[in-house]
Structure 1
């Protein structure tokens, strides 16, 4: 992707993937998992009409990733209608759907720059956006924020993310962190797996929800730095030795299956 503004919609290339073809078995499995996570977000109320994005990089020689079709609600996303794009914003193969350029700028920059960025999630939840709009940002005042000490980066608001030159600045502001509060905008999570990205985002969003509720009571109690540091070390949900969120995500996907398994189509 050049430093020029992104094109209005990603456009198909001449590569040989026909509509409805979902690639090899590994890609098919990723498509099913990612489509299921879109339904999980919908179940949790983490939707913003047809906006926001969850992307997953497809392993291989080329940096290709899957993104939701622009114009569909998360409850309409399926394994087969996810759009495969490259980091220049081109659709790989064919799709009946366009891609939101606001999703390409940040997600493409992260997938291009960070080898461990298998999955990138971005939300505009009320609690997350409220904390992003506050001067203080995330406060270490509750059980969940105490597990995120030193894990959250910040990026200043630059407007709607349709200008490609913002992408590298997001990456630079991330540094070695894999959670970000986009000032005045929302939350961002990155993971080496979909499950890791999810459990990180869930913890950050939950911290924001509790912070927002606490603010209504006034005078929140700050957790001492040493206690927060210990809590962060003891937070097992991020640790691969303890599933790194996979068990949580499987449980939520089972709920989605009971509601509507059509995401697998």
Structure 2
């Protein structure tokens, strides 16, 4: 278990490695993007990112800041046992659920760098439907057969339940928490954001369709299988290209490629136009 270090927020960059600082910038960007695209719940919920080269340590938001306020320096560094390693002097600590929900997944899934949890309106609505996410749109079909489900047991502040959440996630990158919300993971921060962005949109589309109170046009099984195969194949191609082609953009190459890396640089430019303070 590490020893906690409290330092002035203005000194954080000089106190961490270049790899950690880069991760802090991308994670702060992810928080800002979640706010920009309407996937926040006031100061609640959490996104965590494992620090490269320090598998037991991850970054998470200070409990009390809005997502649109998060900066690279404000993130808190904790370990998978619950100890705070680096605490900026902003006066905010970590939401206990941010530890109980994220730490078991980080421990069980070393292939994942980033975990995003939301209580969005559409995501929570779909989580309460018996059928869960339906393959009613191309956006939803990309996740078909790749989603785990976990039954609601109350707020996720029990170590025993969070172990069951990890078990229900299994080999998937997406988990729908029944009557609760959504969870998306990725081998990189851009990949996790991409998964949550499209998962949220799939839920919004489903709610819109069901609200129309008109007969639905379900796709054929062949169409679903074709869509799943297409998206999976494209993701592998993008990943391989990002890892082997030096001309691929920095966002894709530096963040494990696949879906998410391709558009990440453009999203960072969007944030820079809105407010570049996330980088500080």
TM-score, scaled relative to structure 2: 0.86
**Unmatched runs of 5 consecutive residues or more in structure 1:** 2-12
**After the TM superposition, which of the residue ranges 58-67 and 172-181 deviates more from structure 2?**
58-67
Spell out the pairing of 1:217-256 with structure 2 (5 A cutoff). 217-218=212-213, 219-235=215-231, 238-239=235-236, 240-241=239-240, 243-244=257-258, 245-256=260-271
Does 2:14 align with 1:18?
Answer: no
Query: Which residue is equivalent to 1:88?
Result: 81
**1:148 alignment partner, SS class:** coil
Separation in 2 of the partners of 1:197 and 1:61? 19
Spell out the pairing of 1:25-36 with structure 2 (5 A cutoff). 25-36=18-29
The structural deviation recorded for 1:16 is 5.2
Separation in 1 of the partners of 2:96 and 2:150? 19
Query: Which residue is equivalent to 1:43?
Result: 36
Determine which of 101, 107, 113 is the counterpart of 1:106.
101
Determine which of 67, 88, 104 is the counterpart of 1:74.
67
**1:166 alignment partner, SS class:** helix
Separation in 2 of the partners of 1:142 and 1:99? 37
Query: Which residue is equivalent to 2:125?
Result: 130
Separation in 1 of the partners of 2:268 and 2:207? 28
Q: CA 1:36–1:108 in 2, change beyond 3 Å: closer, same or farther? A: same
Query: Which residue is equivalent to 1:151?
Result: 146
Ranked by relative contact order (alpha carbons within 8 Å, sequence separation 6 or more), the top structure is: 1
Q: Could you list the per-position Cα deviations for residues 211-235 of structure 1 after superposition, in whole angstroms to 9, with x for gaps in the alignment?
A: 0000012332222222111101112
